[in-house]
Structure 1
Amino acid sequence: MLIRERMQATHFSSAEQQLVDDILQHNQVLQELTVQQIAQRNFVHPSTLIRVAKKLGFSGWVELKEAFAKEEQYLTGHFQEIDANLPFAPTDGITTIAQKLTRLEQSTLEDTLSLVHHDELNTAKQLLLAADQIKVFGSNANRLISQDFLLKMNRIGKMTSQATPGEAAYESLNMPPKSCAILISYTGENQELRQIAKLLQQEQIPFIAITSIGDNEIARRATCRLNMTTRERLYSKIGNFSINTSVTYLLNLLYCCVFSEHYQANLAHLIKTGALIDKRPSTVAIMEEPPLSDIQIQDSFLPN
């Protein structure tokens, strides 16, 4: 749930409600004012600001003020020229549809990148590097998206699997101590994944939540979180275009972070195994592989 939504759903006293209404209507103005100035503006005691912040789950006014400013900045940034739910109109021709879909993909990537925070990403990287086993949990659509991530991770020796539909909760309880999970949920309130998050936390298995912005149960239980773009409604839309693009990007980002830790060794391993296994012919010059002797990698990783 977004902070704005929590403000609208929370019960406040009349004085507190007056302050909340002012925050919702004049957030940019209030960002520049001190606690005393905001209190005077709303004819309330400064302690009212602290009470409102705590009712919304924050330690104090400054934390609420900063979090709300970041949320509003995100919601008003990007996606100004494209609708994530209805990216094209019924009167658009196929060329226009192609152009608008490209614009949607670009906006989604920029939007997702704006939500990536160094410390959270680094924590996720370290969890994956330390894990002997990685398991991905998600809904039907997210299971399909994560297939490519599983393939890439396994090819560099990071044993990654996907939870079995109907058995996911049982599998979460059977994960070995030195393992890590990834939970993918747009709402963060999927009933099955909420149960899995609780079980993983109970068993002290660290997990990464890939979820929307705002507060949700899966994010609260996660060891760290990566936020996906949060622009789509649940079902009144043409398709999950921005969600799918955002999840794919974040999984690719995780893979790249893991890959980069042993860059030369991983690259050499991929080239070695590819040279031994991939015998596909090609009639297009750009696809042709150069002789192994021309590839600048560590000699010790080349096939004999």
Structure 2
Amino acid sequence: MLLVEKMQETNFSPAEQNLVDYILQQSTAIDEQTIKEIATATFVHPSTLIRLAKKLGYQGWSDLKTAFIEEQRYLNSHFEAIDPNLPFKQTDGLLTIAQKIAALEQTTIEDTLSLLHYDQLKKATELLDCAKEIKIFTSNANILISQDFALKMRRLKKRTAVAEIIGEHVYEAHSCEETTCAILISYTGENHMLKQILPVLKQQGASVISLTSIGESTISQASDCNLSMTTRERLYSKIGNFTTSTSICYLLDVLYAAVFSKNYHQNLTHLINLGEAFDKRTSTSPVMEEPPMALLQFTDSFLPN
């Protein structure tokens, strides 16, 4: 749940509600205002700001203010020129549609990148790198997206699987161990099935990485680390899950690349060896053609002087 939504749905005293209305109206302008200035403008005692922050789950006004400003700046960035829910019109021609979808995907990746935090990405990379088994839990179209990530990870000798059978998720969660890293993917962060398996994963000692929308959610708060996906789409009044799917693909590609980089030379050599031994495809395109001694050319550039 976004902080703005939480402010709109929480029951406040008249003084607190007056303060909330002011904050929502001023938006990022409160960044330049002191507690005393805001209290004076809203005719409340300064302690009301602290009470409001604690009612919303923050330690104090400074924490609430920082979270609110960060959320507002995110919501007001990137998607100025295109609607993620209705990115094209009925009257648009085929090439116009193609251009708008391209712009939407490019903007989505930039948007998702802006949400990445180094500490969370570093922790997720370490959890995946140390895990003996990686298990992905998600639903619907996200299962298909996750399969490509699982395939690439298996090529790095990382035992990775997607829980695909409906009704079996709890049983698969029970089969996880302390050496398992579970990846939970949910746009809302409130997927019923995933919330059901969370305590099971914790009981089994598995580590949990979650991919969810921004804001507070049951899944993100219960995870060992969380990566935020772009949060722009409504639940169902939209043409398709364009931004959500692109954002998840990007985050999974980033995780794969981050794990790959932990043993860059070893992984690259392994993939080239397998490719030379088993990939018998041919092509007339010089772009696709593999040069002779491909492995030697690749590995020599990474050997120490």
Q: Above 0.5 in TM-score?
A: yes
Residue deviations 1:144-174 (CA, integer Å, cap 9, x gap): 0011101110001111111132211111111
1:74 aligns with 2:71: no
- How many pairs align? 300
Maintained 8 Å contact 1:211/1:227: yes
Give the 4+ runs in structure 1 shifted more than 2 A.
Answer: 201-204
Equivalent position amino acid for 1:253 in 2: V
Q: Distance in 1 between matches of 2:76 and 2:230?
A: 13
- Equivalent residues in 2 for 1:1-304 (5 A)? 1-165=1-165, 166-292=167-293, 294-297=296-299
Q: TM-score, normalised by structure 1?
A: 0.96
Q: Distance in 2 between matches of 1:132 and 1:203?
A: 14
Instruction: Note closer, same or farther for the CA distance 1:7–1:175 as it changes in structure 2 (3 Å cut).
Output: same
Maintained 8 Å contact 2:184/2:211: yes
Residue deviations 1:193-215 (CA, integer Å, cap 9, x gap): 11112221233311111010011
Q: Distance in 2 between matches of 1:96 and 1:7?
A: 39
Equivalent position amino acid for 2:178 in 1: P
Equivalent position amino acid for 1:215 in 2: E
Q: Distance in 2 between matches of 1:75 and 1:250?
A: 19
Maintained 8 Å contact 1:180/1:207: yes
Equivalent position amino acid for 1:242 in 2: T
Equivalent position amino acid for 1:79 in 2: F
Q: TM-score, normalised by structure 2?
A: 0.96
Residue deviations 1:95-126 (CA, integer Å, cap 9, x gap): 10011011001110110000001000001000
Q: Distance in 2 between matches of 1:201 and 1:33?
A: 43
Residue deviations 1:65-100 (CA, integer Å, cap 9, x gap): 000000000000001000101110000000100110
Maintained 8 Å contact 2:163/2:172: yes
State the superposition RMSD in angstroms. Answer: 1.4
Q: Distance in 1 between matches of 2:128 and 2:28?
A: 39
1:298 shift after superposition:
5.8
- 1:31 alignment partner, SS class: helix
- 1:296 alignment partner, SS class: helix
Unaligned runs of 5+ in 1: none
Maintained 8 Å contact 2:178/2:207: no
Q: Distance in 2 between matches of 1:60 and 1:201?
A: 30
Deviates more, 1:135-144 or 1:198-207: 198-207
